Amino acid sequence: MTNIVCEVTYVKKSNQTAILTVKLNDISTKCMKMVSKIPEEWIENIILSRCCHICEQLWKTHVKESIEENTQQKTKSIAVVGYDVSPDLIFETKTVYSENADGTSEINIDIDPLFTKCMDTIYVNPIEEIKSFIQSRIEVEIDNIINDSINRGINIDKTKREIIMTYEREEITDEFIDELDDEIVDENVKTQLEGELQTTRTDLQAEKEKTQQMEVRLSLLESTLASLIS
């Protein structure tokens, strides 16, 4: 089994902020760099994507209660954390990424008071839950690397670790991009023609219905005229 090492610590500070630290071994670092060109942003997004949503939910709940109870609405920071947070600390995370010569890496994320409060709502055990999320994504990437290496035949006489650590994605050539562009153009033309065909069918159906209506009116007029003559 490939040695995936992901150490996570989460410490809440006295000023109601927190710091999340993620330490990765060389294999985990390699895989995270395949997942995202900027691994620290991917890790940071675990917090941002969830906390922003929760903060908005807490805020909307407060606004709704204020409206129903006819009370004055509080600021977003007071509604969420109970006091006014400095504007330069609201919805802010500060991320620092460092990679060592041996391929290991460390990511430190300072979390503002609002997001720290939201973390309490989102996670029961933030350390284990975030660690599990990162490890699961690394395992998926390892599987992708192995499968691609087998398909490209670059796994010969290599250990699993060697395959992962030497793996590089195959570059897409301009010729391949041109082929993709042609396929996209062909697909667009096909879609356009299908749209025009459907429009034509609709127009023909409309004309057919109009013709049928005219025939009914004509038959009615003929009948009326015949009754008058007789």
Task: Judge whether residue 48 has pLDDT over 70.
Answer: yes
**Residue range 173-189: average pLDDT?**
55
> How far is it, in rounded angstroms, from Cα 20 to Cα 47?
10
Asked, for residue 140, whether it belongs to a domain, the answer is: yes
Q: Decide: 29 and 136 in contact? Cβ < 8 Å.
A: no
**Residue range 168-196: average pLDDT?**
59
In this prediction, residue 203 carries a pLDDT of 63
**Whether residue 151 sits in one domain with residue 41:** yes
**Whether residue 49 sits in one domain with residue 150:** yes
**Following DSSP, what letter does each residue of 10-58 receive, concatenated?**
EEE-TTS-EEEEEEE-HHHHHHHHHH-SSHHHHHHHHHHHHHHHHHHHH
Give the total number of structural domains in the chain.
Answer: 2
**Whether residue 112 sits in one domain with residue 30:** yes
Residue scoring higher pLDDT (48 or 179): 48
Asked, for residue 1, whether it belongs to a domain, the answer is: no
**Whether residue 89 sits in one domain with residue 34:** yes
Among residues 115, 136, 166, which one ends one of the domains?
166
**Whether residue 70 sits in one domain with residue 112:** yes
**Whether residue 200 sits in one domain with residue 112:** no
Task: Judge whether residue 177 has pLDDT over 60.
Answer: no
Task: Judge whether residue 200 has pLDDT over 80.
Answer: no
**Whether residue 185 sits in one domain with residue 71:** no
> How far is it, in rounded angstroms, from Cα 132 to Cα 89?
28
Find the domain containing 124 and state its range: 6-166
